[in-house]
Amino acid sequence: MPEMPEVQGLTTFLTERAVGRTIVRTAVGAIAALKTYDPPNTALHGAEITAASRQGKFIVLSCGSDLHLVFHLAKAGWLRWYETLPTTLIKPGKSPIALRVALDDESGFDLTEAGTKKSLAVYVVRDPQEVPGIARLGPDPLGSTFTREVFGGLLRGRRTQIKGLLRDQSVIAGIGNAYSDEILHAARMSPYAIADKLGDDEVDRLFAAMQTTLTDAVAEASGKPPADLKDAKRRGMQVHARRGEACPVCGDTVRSVFFADRSLEYCPTCQTGGKPLADRRLSRLLK
């Protein structure tokens, strides 16, 4: 799933390549992906893209102040950029393309989604705050106002596992499954630690790990075209999606806990005192 660093990389790329260009046409390849009808997607035709920005894991392409193309790539979505956009006709339901956007210099992009579970979402709105997922976003962890004190306040009173809290977009915007694994590994913290029970030193460590992990990942994504961002993300992972490999810090074997539609990865030596986590959602450390 694209998370904040990759989405920021895509936003930076679109700022450099699409801002200032005019949208010639759009073609919807997956009707279910288009979540709005007023304004219609055809309202974008002839509109100049004036800005590209990121809100959590959403990308916002603005055409002036009152028309915006917003999309969320979900778990299996991606943006495929073309310097010369294909002219083949998109047949709804017959390809992975959810939306095609053609620009006035013959370039453009497709929003694509792999797999059978379709969650990619596209919105055409007058105000990005009309998108429900944006309206309920928590603060951006790399925002200038996101301090250690703000972070500590978000943890207080929340008797929930820290892994889930980091992934909760209404608490902190932009972090998903992969980077929460990486942050917790860097902080030497169990994914099952309870947020409200963390001591000051643990909160300090977690905040520092969050800032460093995300800042480094955003820097790594910066300047890369969309086609290179996924590989860059994989190369930067220390534990996520590395089950069975050696932890780069201590050499222990990276373990997984599997859930219905995802897994988490962690290092027992670095994060759980050497004890493996039982492989079920509500488990505690094995005795």
**Residue 55 corresponds to which tokens in the numbers above?**
């809100």
Residue 38 is given by DSSP the state S
Q: Which residue's structure tokens are 């992972």?
A: 237
Residues 6 or more apart whose CB falls under 8 angstroms from that of 87 comprise none
- The H-assigned helical ranges of 168-263 are 177-186, 200-221, 226-236
Please give the positions annotated as active site: 2-3, 57, 262
d(CA 223, CA 226) in angstroms, rounded, equals: 9
The DSSP bridge pattern shows strands 58-62 and 51-55 to be antiparallel
Q: Which residue's structure tokens are 């643990």?
A: 202
Task: Considering only CA atoms, give the Rg of the chain.
Answer: 20
- How many CB atoms are closer than 10 A to CB 73? 24
Residues 6 or more apart whose CB falls under 8 angstroms from that of 90 comprise 27, 29, 97, 100
Give yes or no for a contact between 68 and 124, defined as CB atoms under 8 angstroms apart.
Answer: yes
Give yes or no for a contact between 258 and 264, defined as CB atoms under 8 angstroms apart.
Answer: no
Amino acid at 150: V
Residue 278 is given by DSSP the state P
d(CA 174, CA 54) in angstroms, rounded, equals: 9
d(CA 36, CA 41) in angstroms, rounded, equals: 8
d(CA 63, CA 79) in angstroms, rounded, equals: 19
